[in-house]
């Protein structure tokens, strides 16, 4: 907590997160008692969530989280806009490599299988992303199809 004003019911938090792979991020969050009864906890959660999101961790890919009636349809604590339920999110089919060649990206089915396999191994989505970044230098959604298959095989190995 970097600032607390009980008279005006204001709390400001800063969260700094450093991950073993070398990344770090700082997130800030503030809330007032006029907006939330538990404004202190909400400000802390906001700061942590923003720092995590800056590192690529968060709830932005989780469609099964509860929705907050005050958040206009956004996932609770995730400042992202999800596509309407009737729309399919478009995923790119190719990316440019350093030599200008394009390569096919993982399919949506591969991405779901990556996270499902990680979950079956007892890993959180954040841990799957972290492992993928450490092995391939990208998040699972940005893997080539071949690297996606290799990553799935890697995840299937006993821990």
Q: 54-85, pLDDT tens digit by residue? A: 777 765 544 444 444 454 544 444 455 555 55
CA-based nearest residue to 68, from 105, 38, 98, 97? 38
Cα–Cα dist 157/159, whole Å = 6
On the question of pLDDT at 141 being above 70, the answer is yes
- Which residue range is the domain that position 50 belongs to? 3-54
Task: Kindly tell me if the per-residue pLDDT of 3 is higher than 90.
Answer: yes
Sign of the Cα pseudo-torsion (83, 107, 96, 156, in order): positive
> 83: which residues sit within 8 A by CB, 6+ positions away?
89
Helix (H) or strand (E) holding 10: strand 10-18
Three-state DSSP class for residue 74: coil
pLDDT higher than 70, residue 41:
yes
pLDDT at 2: 94
Residue 150 lies in a domain: yes
CA distances from 19 to 44, 46, 56, 130, 133 (A): 19, 19, 11, 9, 12
Domain identity same for 100 and 150 = yes
How many independent structural domains does the chain possess? 2
Query: What are the C-alpha distances in Å from 136 to residues 10, 26, 47, 56, 150?
Result: 43, 25, 29, 15, 10
**Are 98 and 149 in a shared domain?**
yes
Terminal Cα distance for the chain, rounded: 38
Asked if residue 80 is part of any domain, the answer here is no
């Amino acid at each position: 907590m970097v600032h607390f004003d009980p008279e005006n019911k204001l709390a400001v938090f800063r969260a700094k997160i450093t991950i073993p792979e070398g990344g770090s991020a700082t997130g800030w969050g503030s809330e007032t008692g006029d907006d939330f009864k538990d404004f202190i906890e909400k400000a802390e959660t906001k700061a942590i969530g923003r720092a995590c999101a800056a590192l690529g961790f968060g709830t932005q890919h989780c469609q099964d989280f509860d929705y907050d009636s005050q958040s206009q349809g956004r996932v609770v604590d995730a400042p992202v806009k999800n596509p309407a339920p009737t729309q399919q999110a478009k995923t790119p089919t190719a990316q440019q490599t350093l030599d200008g060649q394009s390569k096919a990206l993982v399919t949506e089915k591969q991405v779901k299988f990556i996270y499902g396999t990680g979950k079956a191994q007892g890993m959180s989505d954040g841990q799957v992303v972290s492992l993928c970044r450490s092995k391939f230098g990208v998040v699972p959604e940005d893997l080539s199809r071949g690297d996606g298959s290799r990553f799935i095989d890697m995840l299937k190995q006993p821990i």
